[in-house]
Structure 1
Amino acid sequence: MRIVPRRGYLLLFTGIFIGIMISYMIFISYSPKTVSGGGIPKYIEITFLYSSEKQGWLEEVTPIFEEKFYKSYGIEVKVNLLPAGTHESINLIIHGSVKPTIWSPASSIWIPYLNYLWEKEHGYKIASEWYPLVISPIIIAGWRSIIVKYNISGFKSLYYLAKNGVDFKWGHPDPQLSNGGTMTVLLEFSEIIGKPPDKITIDDLNNETIIEMVRLIESKAVAYGKSTGFFGRWAVDNGPDAISFFGVYENIVIDN
């Protein structure tokens, strides 16, 4: 039996209520359903829109959090979990398809983008403050036998495999829909260029040699998932016949 650590639901408790504070403008714009018999509500319903790589953990600890919160404070909390790719979640918010109480993207780089789109439509920023609570690195995942056989240690390893005519299948989430996909492509450029992401320049990205090296890696791509969590599960379910190596968050590998 898997034991859920106590810190799991405590982190969720912290994350949800810090999330309410940092998502103040979302809370104002999209009021959650509450039923109150006085000054303190007896029931709170929260819509939690989040990036899909957190799905396994959140689904496991949310019932524990709801139960613990009720026992501790006498308030019934219902958390409606809605997983989506980060870019997809932004589209859902902007178009009004989902009206979340809390939004948890895969990376803080998407918050200014949401603010930009929201301000164009409504004249103000929807999320003025935020605090990162979780860090999950992007890794190259693969099947042990193939990793060992070709001594894969990074994106340059994939480049040299492709250059030498080795047949393999590569994949990652769609960069236009998923933070995981965006970060994977950025890290491809970063390693080929030889600089950390925050030191990359426009000239680096326009370098034809660099572009061709990244293009060669991407020429081996067989799949682009709409979100990192869903893509990671697809890769695990379909195995090495479907994909050899794939870019995902580290926790996706641990969870699967």
Structure 2
Amino acid sequence: MMFHVKRQDDTTPDPPADERAPEAPEAAGRLFGANLDRAIRYADMLAGPGVRRGMVGPREVGRLWERHLLNCGVVAELIAENAIVHDVGSGGGLPGIPLALVRPDLRITLVEPLLRRTTFLDEVVDELGLDNVRVLRGRAEEVRGRTWADVVTARAVAPLAKLAGWGLPLLASGGEMLALKGDSAADELLESEADLRKLGAVSWAVAHAGAGIVDPLTTVVRVRIGTVAPRESKAAKARRTAKPARRRPVK
């Protein structure tokens, strides 16, 4: 897939010095490869407009690379080629945007209910020329039935049981939810097992990603579902449940 790159040294003006992200670490070049310029521009957008508009806190600017872009981008190693990915509660685009930069083969939908955030995400997608990303405004419950995914990702959205209730119904048969979590991931997973079973999960585990890129490694809870029954369209359901029309008596 070919991309039109808006480079900082030609078509994109340099952001003010106080709105730039820290210099990209060497690991960023290894992770983002040919899309490093885009990753740098995204980091600057988070450090400037992203802070002003509440996408990230001002204290996060100094650790945008290690804690955010790299931490999210390494999750790409857990995703199969050409997968359809829904990033639920995408916020400022994490982990969806880094995943799109690392893996142009993925088709990613950023699902976010708040208008100010989807406006920012639209600007990022347009600025970076990300042809493999679309922005969808709405809650996960509202998206259900409109589009299906091979993978659902989420970061810092909700406790695992609640997140599974939002994310697992968006998956096609055999799909997987990847939830970025912290040190308490194993305990949270243990507490959520009963809820996961009710939602159709067939396997779950804690995984780690990013060896040689991030330290500590990114912790991910992986939850896979089984076979999903064929979904009935709204039109078909309406026809099936409609009451038969009353016949007028023949005179």
What TM-score do the two structures reach when normalised by structure 2?
0.28
Q: Which has the higher contact order (CA 8 A, sep 6+)?
A: 1
What TM-score do the two structures reach when normalised by structure 1?
0.28
